[in-house]
């Protein structure tokens, strides 16, 4: 396995741990969301919305951690890549379309992590394809 894939695996574990922490904060106290994320319209944040956000974030965390463990599983790899695209899409739409977020350091950091993760996973995909024996032989 290439050095880059090992770095990517470590990155995915780190991002997974941070996401799990955010998930736990969402379950514990919904004020986390309107104090750090949805600051432009805090009246829209309630306990149900916070728990839903927490479940999505926890699911993303688990998927990313599993991908780090089994990075050669192409299906899991693509699902993990999609978690970053979907998360980034949510944050960008809330920031620019719905206006529930403001460009705070927390939001900019989240978008930066998602961007780096997407870029890293796309490069990692290229690395996986370049590994010897990564392509399945055709059956006759």
Residues 12 and 64: beta-carbon distance below 8 Å: yes
Comparing 84-93, 97-106, 126-135, which segment has the lowest mean pLDDT? 126-135
Residue 68 CA from chain centroid, whole number: 13
Round the average pLDDT of the chain to a whole number and report it: 92
User: Which structure tokens are listed for 133?
Assistant: 């024996």
Q: How confident is the model at residue 47 (pLDDT cuts 50, 70, 90)?
A: very high
**Which ranges of 29-104 would DSSP assign to H, the alpha helix?**
31-36, 47-69, 74-96
Q: What's phi and psi for 23, nearest 5 deg?
A: -65, -45
Percent of the chain scoring above 90 in pLDDT: 84
- What is the structure's pLDDT at 130? 83
- What is the structure's pLDDT at 129? 87
């Amino acid at each position: 396995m290439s050095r880059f894939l090992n770095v990517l695996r470590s990155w995915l574990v780190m991002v997974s741990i941070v996401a799990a922490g955010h998930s736990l904060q969402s379950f514990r106290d919904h004020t986390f969301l309107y104090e750090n994320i949805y600051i432009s319209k805090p009246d829209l944040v309630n306990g149900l919305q916070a728990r839903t956000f927490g479940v999505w974030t926890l699911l993303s965390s688990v998927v990313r951690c599993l991908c780090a463990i089994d990075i050669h599983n192409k299906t899991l790899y693509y699902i993990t890549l999609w978690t970053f695209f979907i998360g980034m899409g949510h944050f960008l739409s809330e920031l620019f379309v719905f206006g529930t977020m403001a460009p705070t350091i927390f939001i900019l950091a989240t978008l930066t992590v998602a961007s780096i993760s997407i870029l890293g996973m796309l490069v990692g995909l290229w690395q996986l394809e370049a590994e010897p024996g990564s392509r399945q032989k055709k059956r006759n």
